[in-house]
Amino acid sequence: MIKKVFLVILLTVSGAHIVMADDADMAEINKALQVLAPGVKPDSITPSSIPGMYEVMLGADVVYISKNGRYLLQGDLVDLQAKKNLTEGKRAAGRLKLVNSMREDKMIVFAPAKVKHTITVFTDIDCPYCRKMHAEMSAYNQLGIKVRYMLYPRAGVNSESYEKAVSVWCAKDRKTALTTAKATGTIAKKTCENPVREHMALADSMGVSGTPTLVLEDGRTLPGYVPAQRLSRLLDDAGANKTN
């Protein structure tokens, strides 16, 4: 299972930046990683809050490995004194980095005249709650929320949903095509060079399993439809907490 996780992450992670580890420890850790998944290149390997354990960042995933390379832990590291989940903060930063690695010209963006908040949403044209969310697009925009869509047909490549996603992307007016497809469930079939598989690979690397999945400005994810007013309050609260 661990080897599978490492290999999935490897599909989207490139370029190692390994710092702060003792040379001898680094040798043992890298040796263990190569056994698990040959060729894997972590984003970083740094000492964790647990003595003798190192934190390994791979995209949006975090694992902990002993300095002798023998033991590996997957799970949340919680500082009970500070009452803080240390792992989730790192995951969120990893998610944000992955999402922002996708250029906006490879997304379908619905933006208000004045942007207050920006969210990224993995959406499926045939998902009922994705349609419900999209029906509120004017409300999100009126509240200053910019919505950046990435297409994630859950039925997979070559499914009907996948073909609809490609057709939307290849339409002359993508935003109108997406709105029509979500409202009616149908769209004229078109093909062209498109980023749909890239969107799907990115979603898989982040552990996205359902739609809609919202990625907030701080890297947190929210599964499912969130009404416009509630989402606006969540984003405002997150922004206020960040500045405090």
Residues tagged active-site: 124, 127, 130, 154
* 21, 51, 153 from 30: Cα distances, Å: 11, 18, 36
Residue keyed to tokens 């969210």: 119
Residue 23 is classified by DSSP as H
Q: CA-based Rg of the chain, rounded to a whole angstrom?
A: 20
CB burial string 111-134: b at 16+ within 10 A, e below: ebeeeebbbbbbbbbbbebbbebb
Enter the tokens of residue 223.
């599964």
Distance CA 65, CA 28 (A): 10
